[in-house]
Structure 1
Amino acid sequence: MSIKFRLTLMSFLQFFVWGAWLITVANYWFGTKQWSGAEFGAIFSTLGISSIIMPAITGIIADKYVNAEKLYGVLHILGGIALMYIPQVDNPSTFYYVIFAAMLCYMPTISLSNSIAYNILKTNNFDVVKVFPPIRVWGTIGFIVAMWITNLSGNKASYNMFYLAAIAAIALGFYSFSLPKCPPQKLISKDASIIEKLGLDAFKLFGTYKMALFFIFSMFLGGALQLTNMYGDVYLSEFSKVPEYADSFVVKYSTIIMSISQVSETLFILAIPFFLKRFGIKQVMLISMLAWVLRFGLFAYGNPVDGLWMIIVSCIVYGMAFDFFNISGSLFIETTTDSKIRSSAQGLFMMMSNGFGAFFGGIISGIVIDNYFTNNGVRDWHSIWLAFAGYALVIAIAFAVLFKHKHNPNDVANVSH
């Protein structure tokens, strides 16, 4: 098998694991288990906590001590075992701790998979900016395939979604051991400082105004990243409570409708090299933030009949909103950091966006929705989505004013080798 195919398979399985349950877990939580909303926000905060604790640590380990592909494999196997146990859980507290264990293993593998792909592609003299996005597209396809299997098999509110994810995770764990070796990039010298030995030298990036601001806005935008993953499917499913929409395609196949978002991702990933070279990181991230405003705003006014076009356009816009932030941010780190701390820096980016951002986004959104937008168990989705849109707009305006970056197309080209 070619190097590109092997990395493509890794990317496919990486996000298949997530897609099998991430979008549909709200239906399992609110529908099958009938647990409360505030607790659900806490469940999604485990993604954030895990991204705060683990990616930086695993990045340090991969930079300095252990082959990245071996660490990646062990984490997936352990995470798969945790997911396998979830169907046995019968109360919210235990569910929280088990999903937390699974996320402690899964979340760092996202940045690790990027580091592994970059390392192997560079070792084999590929142009990373051109070759990586098409490989990463297959991760999104894996996410979509998992969503469709979950929905079409009648398991969008069933514990079987966790078994599906677990099997894929364990299979990926064993597969990763066959990947080309990705040894630590930085050997520890006897004269190294305590900070270098602990792998904390990536945190010096906060000493640069531009990088510090980049990480801070990554955190704020990270607060929006998981909101439609948390609530999108259950939002569409709850149109069943309105008689005129109860039997609509949107209600029956809400997960498939949501998968349009991931289909859109595959297209926008391929556009990233052009946009990054043409407009630069500031413009691309600003486009992402404005796309989040549209994503939430269109959801606020959409419905399964005459407003269906708004729901579909919102899903299409999601591809731009998500990719232009996540993938472009990862490539930005790759172009602006020293190779000796690159895995650590990728972990730091993950920690700020999917860590602190997702943590606060999950906790605060759960509390706010429960206390301000829910009446007798009925959620006011129109106001919820408008509130999220307002949040994204404030971030976009602040970023446009505060983040200073002079675009140089050659910076992006430098990531290739």
Structure 2
Amino acid sequence: MGIKFRLTLMSFFQFFVWGAWLITIANYWFGTKQWGGAEFGAIFSTLGLSSIFMPALTGIIADRWMNAEKLYGILHILGGIALAFLPQVNDSTTFFWVMFVAMVFYMPTISLSNSIAYNILKNSAYDVIKVFPPIRVWGTVGFIVAMWMTNLSGNKASENQFYIAAVAAVALGLYSFTLPKCPPLRLTKKDESWTESLGLDAFKLFADYKMALFFIFSMFLGGALQLTNMYGDVYLSDFEKIPEYADSFVVEYSTIIMSISQISETLFILAIPFFLKRFGIKMVMLFSLLAWVLRFGFFAYGDPHEGLWMIIASCIVYGMAFDFFNISGSLFIETTTDSKIRSSAQGLFMMMTNGFGAVLGSFISGYAIANYFTAADGMKDWHNIWLSFAIYALVIAVAFAIFFKHKHNPKEVENVMH
């Protein structure tokens, strides 16, 4: 097998492991186990908590002490074992801790998979800018395939979704040991301080008003990133409690409907270069924030019959909402920070969005839904839940447009893109 195909397999199963349960776990939690809403928010916070410290820690290990592909394999095998243990858990507190262990092992593999691909492609004399994106797109395809497999096999509310993910994780872990070696570079300099070696010097960026504002907005947006992953599928499934919608296509194949969001991602990724060159980084990030308003707003007013187009539209705009901020935000870091701390700054961006932002969003949304939007009989007021999220995104968008200043420089964008 060629190198590109082997890396494509790695990318496919990297996100297959995630897609097998991420969108459908709410059905297992609320439907099969019938646990509380506030605790469910804590479950999704495990993604953020582990993202705060694990990617940086494993990056240091791979840079200095262990082959990246071996570390990657070990993490996936251990994560797979943790996922396989989840169905044995019968109380929400223990479930939280087991899921946290699983995410401690899984979340750093996302950045490690990129590092491994970059390393192998460079060593094989490939143009990384040209070759990597088509490889990475197959990760999104893997996520979609896993979602469909879980739904079509009738397991969107069963413990089997964790077994599917566990088998894929262990298989990927074993497969990674066959990849070309990615040894530690051991580039630590003698005069490098311990804060520099750990990437902590990037925190000095908070002293710059513009960068501090960017990171703060990144955190607030990060609070919204996982909301539809947390609640989207269970929201669609809950229409079965309304007699006129009980037998609708949306209820039966809710996960497939949600997968339109990931399909949209692959299309909007291809559109990003055009939007960046035409409108600039700030406008693309603003488009993302406004797309989040539409994402939540369409869900608020959608239904499986006359409002089906709104549910579909919500899934389509998700591609712009999710990708435009992540990629343009990363590009903003690339074009405005010193090359010596650029990698650390990218890590800081991820920590603020997928770390602190995701944790705050998970806890606050879980608490708010459980205490203000759930009736005594357990029915959730989905219309006002999504409307509240839409208002939240709109406030962030307006504040971002007013306070964040960044002039569009087409040459700056073109130099980085190429």
TM-score bin, normalised by smaller chain: over 0.9
2:352 matched residue in structure 1: 352
TM-fit CA distance, 1:361 = 0.4
TM-fit CA distance, 1:76 = 1.5
Distance in 1 separating the partners of 2:275 and 2:126: 20
The 3 A distance-change label for structure 1 pair 329 and 66 is farther
Distance in 2 separating the partners of 1:161 and 1:385: 26
2:165 matched residue in structure 1: 165
- For the residue of structure 2 that corresponds to 1:378, the secondary structure is coil
Contact 1:82 1:99 in 2 (8 A): yes
1:314 matched residue in structure 2: 314
> Which range moved further: 334-343 or 195-204?
334-343
2:294 matched residue in structure 1: 294
Distance in 1 separating the partners of 2:346 and 2:99: 23
1:382 matched residue in structure 2: 383
What per-residue deviation string (whole Å, max 9, x for no partner) do you get for residues 336-389 of structure 1?
556655554333222111111110000000110111111111110000000000
Contact 1:279 1:407 in 2 (8 A): yes
RMSD: 2.2
Distance in 2 separating the partners of 1:49 and 1:260: 28
TM-fit CA distance, 1:185 = 5.2
Contact 1:56 1:348 in 2 (8 A): no
Unaligned ranges ≥5, structure 2: none
- For the residue of structure 1 that corresponds to 2:31, the secondary structure is helix
> Which range moved further: 340-349 or 245-254?
340-349
The 3 A distance-change label for structure 1 pair 409 and 172 is farther
Tell whether 2:14 aligns with 1:14. yes
Q: What are the residue-to-residue correspondences of 1:129-168 with 2, within 5 Å?
A: 129-168=129-168
The 3 A distance-change label for structure 1 pair 284 and 7 is farther
The 3 A distance-change label for structure 1 pair 389 and 222 is same
Q: What are the residue-to-residue correspondences of 1:31-110 with 2, within 5 Å?
A: 31-110=31-110
Distance in 1 separating the partners of 2:70 and 2:413: 29
The 3 A distance-change label for structure 1 pair 276 and 248 is same
2:400 matched residue in structure 1: 399
Distance in 2 separating the partners of 1:79 and 1:119: 24
The 3 A distance-change label for structure 1 pair 133 and 285 is farther
1:259 matched residue in structure 2: 259
Q: What are the residue-to-residue correspondences of 1:119-268 with 2, within 5 Å?
A: 119-124=119-124, 126-184=126-184, 187-268=187-268
Distance in 2 separating the partners of 1:67 and 1:331: 28
2:111 matched residue in structure 1: 111
> Which range moved further: 121-130 or 293-302?
121-130
Distance in 2 separating the partners of 1:32 and 1:298: 28
- For the residue of structure 1 that corresponds to 2:407, the secondary structure is coil
Contact 1:86 1:95 in 2 (8 A): yes
How high is the TM-score relative to the length of structure 2?
0.93
Which AA in structure 1 matches 2:221? L
Distance in 2 separating the partners of 1:245 and 1:46: 33
The 3 A distance-change label for structure 1 pair 411 and 58 is farther
Distance in 2 separating the partners of 1:177 and 1:133: 23
Which AA in structure 2 matches 1:283? M
Contact 1:56 1:351 in 2 (8 A): no
Distance in 1 separating the partners of 2:327 and 2:353: 12
Distance in 2 separating the partners of 1:290 and 1:131: 31
How high is the TM-score relative to the length of structure 1?
0.93
Contact 1:64 1:185 in 2 (8 A): yes
2:327 matched residue in structure 1: 327
Distance in 2 separating the partners of 1:269 and 1:134: 10
Contact 1:134 1:269 in 2 (8 A): no
Which AA in structure 1 matches 2:271? A
TM-fit CA distance, 1:406 = 2.8
> Which range moved further: 343-352 or 36-45?
343-352
Distance in 1 separating the partners of 2:180 and 2:331: 22
2:26 matched residue in structure 1: 26
Contact 2:273 2:417 in 1 (8 A): no
Contact 2:373 2:380 in 1 (8 A): yes
The 3 A distance-change label for structure 1 pair 337 and 184 is farther
> Identity over aligned residues, as a percent?
80
- For the residue of structure 1 that corresponds to 2:90, the secondary structure is coil
Contact 1:237 1:250 in 2 (8 A): yes
- Which gives a bigger RCO, structure 1 or 2 (Cα 8 Å, sep 6+)? 1
Contact 1:232 1:258 in 2 (8 A): yes
Contact 1:186 1:340 in 2 (8 A): no
Distance in 2 separating the partners of 1:236 and 1:401: 35
Contact 2:72 2:112 in 1 (8 A): yes
Unaligned ranges ≥5, structure 1: none
TM-fit CA distance, 1:311 = 0.3
The 3 A distance-change label for structure 1 pair 274 and 156 is same
